[in-house]
Amino acid sequence: MNRTIKDATVKRYHDDTHDQLRAHLQLFVDAYNHARRLKTLRGLTPYEYICHLWTKEPERFRLNPSHHIPGPYTSHSPGNHERVSSSGT
């Protein structure tokens, strides 16, 4: 997991402040956890499992879970990131 985070964030983007780095790491961890398939959920992601439960037992939910997925137009974006080239230039 540590190598995955480092390869996807620290080595790929340049953050000017620690706050930008923290925000970017939080977004990455949220996306990673959202898309991770879990054995205990029979290979489904947590979101897929919730949607599956919603279709089977909608009375357990007050809101449609498909309306609350994270996406590119949420207010939690960390800001613009510059790509760091692999050659270091």
What ranges do the domains of the chain cover? 1-35, 41-68
CA atoms of 89 and 73, how far apart (whole Å): 31
Amino acid identity at 3: R
77 has pLDDT over 50: no
pTM of the model: 0.52
pLDDT at site 74: 54
Mean pLDDT estimate for the chain: 75
56 has pLDDT over 80: yes
pLDDT at site 81: 44
